[in-house]
Structure 1
Amino acid sequence: MKDSNVFLIKDFVDNNITESTVKVETTKLVAKFQEDIKKLDDDDFIEIMISCFIPDIYRDNGKKEKLYTKLSEVIVGEWWKRLGGEFIIPTKKSGTEDVELINGNISVVCDAKIFRLGRSQKAPNVKDFLKLASVKTWMDNLVKRYSQNGKIQKAIGGMVTYSSLHEWEGESEVYLECTNKDTPVVMLPYEILALLLKYKSKFKVRDLMQMWDYEKLFNNATKSKVKYWKVIDGFLVDLLDISEDNYYKEIQSYRESIIISVKEYEKIISKEIDDNINEIISKLNSFEKIEEVREYAKESLDSFVNKQHYDYIDRIKKFRKY
């Protein structure tokens, strides 16, 4: 696992914008990033894809986080293209998918999920992960867009890509949603995307798209994580023409690489802590009088203890007026 791959997206973001950048040229940066990743071989690309986590040191909903998220969508699109398909990242976000995955006149609407490693929950809320009504809207809007241009395109379902480190432990409504025959949505973690890319010579994209034929795949909708993965894993074992034992060994190998990348992310957080401590020490050493130290301590504790209260006042002044 190369450090340069683990942090490739982060380095791209950090080298091109700051939180104080007045206007982020997202379209230009996305195009530049696309050209950069086209040059990578599949092995390097896989390491980048399975290491895709929003850096915890980024400001929540800040400019860096938003660009990082957009670039992760490019990664999913490029993955599909390397399999042999085409992709489109819609510029209009309202009522549209993150990425349209295309094979001829058939499309899948994809929601590319990435998360912070330090988020407060093991798994996200189901409603934040998947809304079947939204997927159905995306599918309908996609068909309509093509129809308005005189083309016929079939949307066969949705896909959610995500990190399995953020998956649910047992039964969940998410598996019920992902086994719904009316709106087929496949959820696949990035290590399975990696495995599909590794064995891309063994199948055609049209064969992979049979995974959305839920009438054949699932007898009934289920909340069971075990039942969902038994069906999906079984389909993929047959598609890739490898033994079940080798399939799970490959998945485990990718997960071991993911844990290596997690350790690297922990290091940048630890470095941030060390830098902050050194800055505090340097500031304390600059004081000559005890009164200065007391004033510094008062201001620091005030900003820490009362941060939420100051935020309340700022929001009241900003929003609660006529």
Structure 2
Amino acid sequence: MFNWEIRKLKIAKLIKSSNPDVIAFQEVRCGYSKNENQILELQKLLPAYKWSFFKCSNKVQKIKHSIKKGYNKEGIGILSKLEVLNAKAEELPYTYGPDTNKRLLIHVKLIQEDHVVNIINVHFSYDRQQQCGNAAALLDYVFRKRLKNVVLLGDFNTYNDFEAPMDLITFKPGHAMTHCKQELQQIGNRYINFDDSWQKLHGKDHTGLTFSNMPFPGLESRPDRILVNSETEVISASLSGHGTNYKRQYRSSIVFSRFQTVLKQAALSYHSISGFSCFHDCGPHGSCRCGVCIADGNDKTCHLPNCIEYEEYFPSDHLMLSVTLKYTIS
């Protein structure tokens, strides 16, 4: 939600530049109406993507004393240039642990060159052991449906030191046997194996990083994956986008948006409105002042009407992971 009105322009430009057939989204903000979500906002900027599917799942935690209203839930979804034959959402079973958020999979059947491709978008738990349960439930869904030409993609919340859930999906039973033993036994015999598309082309190096594990700056982990069934040929796998470019290209728009925000906060203060003025928490390195997240540590937050303006804080980069696939149809 940081500068969403500006960021969505950058995201749309990034999508146009990369030109993928299908895009999967996680942590998409939405309202109570089915016509209120950020995917629909992006679709208006991307007319080539005629098909979309989205499912809200969880309420967004409201910040204490917040004065902001707007999207109050989040979910996952897709945009597609390819014709969608069928789309459905299924809730992954809850496994015991601290993460009580609903975890979904979205299954979309697409037509590509006269054959069906099954795209499954997921957002796994942040809890390590619950990730094992999510992985087992995902595989169970694929096996029950007897799906072919399958692409599994999304935010798997994978940690560098805990690849067991990914090993479960890609059938590397060494780590999975140690950390996801019960789930490995539940799966039993499988008829399809999956490969990590990035590793299939680039090997097990430290490239392909997509996320900064706060509070430390810089890309450190690879929670975002695209997994394909083993017989699928991966033509290319690449990362696109960079937060520094976003800041440079949209500098004037961001400054103007910030100026408007500060004026709005001044008007609210004049009308005796008080409280937290940003749309959501500014992270471990940012503070909220006058409706703007500023990069001056996390101890400078103020509530209206006692705020001043600082330099805006850019908490994350914009990256897109893309792969090109070739199917051998039997």
Q: Report the TM-score, using the length of structure 2 for normalisation.
A: 0.37
Bigger radius of gyration: 1
Query: 1 or 2, which has the higher strand percentage?
Result: 2
